[in-house]
Amino acid sequence: MNPECKLADGEVEWLLSHHPADKPQLVRNTSHLYVDHDVDANDDVTNTSTPRVIHIVRLESLAPATSFSYRVRSNGGAWSDQLSFRTLPSFAAASGLSLLITADVGAGSIPPAAVAEAATGEYDMHLHAGDMAYDMSLNHGKYGDQFFNELSAIASRIPFQAWPGNHETDDHFCDFLSFRARLANQNLTGDASKSGSSRYYSFDIPGLLHVAGIDTDAYAEPDYDTSGNGNSGQSFFVAEQYSWLENDLASVNRTHTPWVFLIGHHPMYCSAGGEDLGSGRRQNFPELSCRTTASERQARWQRWGDVFQGSSEGAATGWCYDCTTGAQMIREGCTNGTADPKTEIPSCGVGTGSWKGKRWGLETLMEKYAVDFYFTGHMHMYERSWPTLFGQVQKTYHNPSFPVHINTGNSGSQNNFFLGPEANFTAFRLARVGCYSSVQIHNATHLSFAQKSAANGTVIDKFDLVQERHQQLAREKETFTV
């Protein structure tokens, strides 16, 4: 082994914050070697790369809802500052739960107000719906280093869980390399929730909430092999993930765990009108800009073949792919021209292999398992929907039958989207202001949501949701499918 590739040792020393007389416990880690993508800050290959060592330490049998102090070091070197974190409650039904939810956060753009709130103990947990550092791999991983160093102001204090966005796909030669390496700790969560993946997994906050997170890149960028042999790119991934999600949601006992959140990067419903990427980036990523010509976008998409057969991509003008065809793919799967989203089709026409046999649309699962919320990013604007399912809208947050969609994107770095025409599902939306979501689950039936300014924490939108029918909704859907 090359000497520079030798794995370093790491240690975490920890003890109960309020028992300094106790003997600190020392846990040593497992280490993973990780070599960056070999690209500079402009995403150009340089033929040099930097080895990094990722340390993962598993602390077991920690008391719930308890503060611990700790410090870390690598290879017998200097200790870090003394830090502290608080564990999740073992049964949140009595205590309630406070969640920080973000998406689309760049290096240098962690929302300052969220950092300040986390320092005061405002949140129990931080969930991130994809796109980190823009990008973790760039400049030989230094953007990723900066992002996680800055994120430690929050993630050193409370649990942090993330799912990948399109900026984690890293398409040079190894998909999701930086994401999988830097967030390899999530393999533990993946194993615990039977997904076996750090890209889609779930967990419970007992007594109150089940969170299932997925990787929507497989829908938004199918990347299948146009030679027709399938099982390349990400197309094979859709069926695996869908099957896991169905089993996962089916396993939730809504009497014990009333609330169910789904998290993914790409929205199912949104009304963005385009992204101002600047002329340089527009040239590189024409499919992301609604202001490029249809022929430019179509040329880009032809890289993946004619994935969206008969879709409006070629004809769309002045309107984002992500809020039309892309969102429809996530909601309904591949339609093959079948208008009714509940009608299954034997072959969806996207690639081959496991895209066959079903549409793989996620709204069927949202309905069947009475998911309460879908949190997303990707569109760098904030949008709150009315309860919406299969295009139907209920304009009430009192015992809704449909899920609420929150696009919490625009958390600080790239607040550069335009608003498109308002949609029938739109309850509130805001562009060009960095912001993040704060969710307070009070008990089994009552929840408060607030969208806050990234700069100063000012509440820019809020609503309360009452749901007294979790069990009934889940049971009704089960009955319907017998």
Which of 157-165, 210-218, 291-299, 355-363 is the region at the interface with Fe ion (rule: CB under 5 A)? 157-165
Q: 329 phi and psi, to 5 degrees?
A: -60, -40
Q: Tokens 């081959």 appear where?
A: 352
Please identify, using beta-carbon distances, which residue of 105 and 444 lies nearer to Fe ion.
105
Please identify, using beta-carbon distances, which residue of 378 and 470 lies nearer to Fe ion.
378
Which of 38-46, 80-88, 360-368, 372-380 is the region at the interface with Fe ion (rule: CB under 5 A)? 372-380
If one asks whether residue 106 binds Fe ion (CB under 5 A), the answer comes out as no
User: Are the beta carbons of 185 and 70 closer than 8 angstroms?
Assistant: no
Min CB(215)–Fe ion separation in Å: 12
Min CB(220)–Fe ion separation in Å: 9
Please identify, using beta-carbon distances, which residue of 165 and 341 lies nearer to Fe ion.
165
Min CB(14)–Fe ion separation in Å: 35
3-state secondary structure 46-88: CCCCCEEEEEECCCCCCCCCCEEEEEEEECCCCCCCCEEEECC
Task: Among 137, 166, 292, 426, indicate the residue that binds Fe ion (CB under 5 A).
Answer: 166
Q: Report CA 413 to chain centroid distance, whole Å.
A: 16
Size of the site for Fe ion (CB under 5 A): 4
Please identify, using beta-carbon distances, which residue of 165 and 349 lies nearer to Fe ion.
165
Cα–Cα distance, 292 to 323 (Å, whole number): 16
Which of 4-12, 63-71, 231-239, 370-378 is the region at the interface with Fe ion (rule: CB under 5 A)? 370-378
Please identify, using beta-carbon distances, which residue of 52 and 378 lies nearer to Fe ion.
378
Min CB(105)–Fe ion separation in Å: 11
Which of 58-66, 126-134, 150-158, 425-433 is the region at the interface with Fe ion (rule: CB under 5 A)? 126-134
Which of 80-88, 114-122, 161-169, 270-278 is the region at the interface with Fe ion (rule: CB under 5 A)? 161-169
If one asks whether residue 359 binds Fe ion (CB under 5 A), the answer comes out as no
Q: Tokens 């992204």 appear where?
A: 275
Please identify, using beta-carbon distances, which residue of 165 and 403 lies nearer to Fe ion.
165
Cα–Cα distance, 258 to 425 (Å, whole number): 25
Min CB(265)–Fe ion separation in Å: 6
Nearest to 27 by CA among 53, 57, 55, 7: 57
Nearest to 163 by CA among 212, 213, 203: 213
Order the strands of the 160-162 sheet from edge to edge. 160-162, 125-128, 97-102, 435-441, 446-453, 459-466
Please identify, using beta-carbon distances, which residue of 165 and 273 lies nearer to Fe ion.
165
Q: Give the number of other Cβ atoms within 10 Å of residue 280's Cβ.
A: 9
Q: According to CB under 5 A, which residues from 128 to 147 bind Fe ion?
A: 131
Min CB(465)–Fe ion separation in Å: 26
Nearest to 327 by CA among 293, 380, 376, 398: 376
How far is the CA of 7 from the CAs of 58, 174, 183, 187, in angstroms? 18, 21, 17, 19
If one asks whether residue 170 binds Fe ion (CB under 5 A), the answer comes out as no
Task: Among 164, 165, 326, 434, indicate the residue that binds Fe ion (CB under 5 A).
Answer: 165
How far is the CA of 358 from the CAs of 142, 233, 343, 355, in angstroms? 41, 19, 10, 7
Min CB(442)–Fe ion separation in Å: 31
Cα–Cα distance, 277 to 284 (Å, whole number): 10
Min CB(44)–Fe ion separation in Å: 22
Min CB(200)–Fe ion separation in Å: 17
Please identify, using beta-carbon distances, which residue of 369 and 382 lies nearer to Fe ion.
382
If one asks whether residue 378 binds Fe ion (CB under 5 A), the answer comes out as yes
Residue nearest to Fe ion (CB): 378
Nearest to 52 by CA among 215, 184, 186: 184
Cα–Cα distance, 326 to 220 (Å, whole number): 6
Please identify, using beta-carbon distances, which residue of 193 and 216 lies nearer to Fe ion.
216
Give me the residues that bind Fe ion (CB under 5 A), please.
131, 165-166, 378
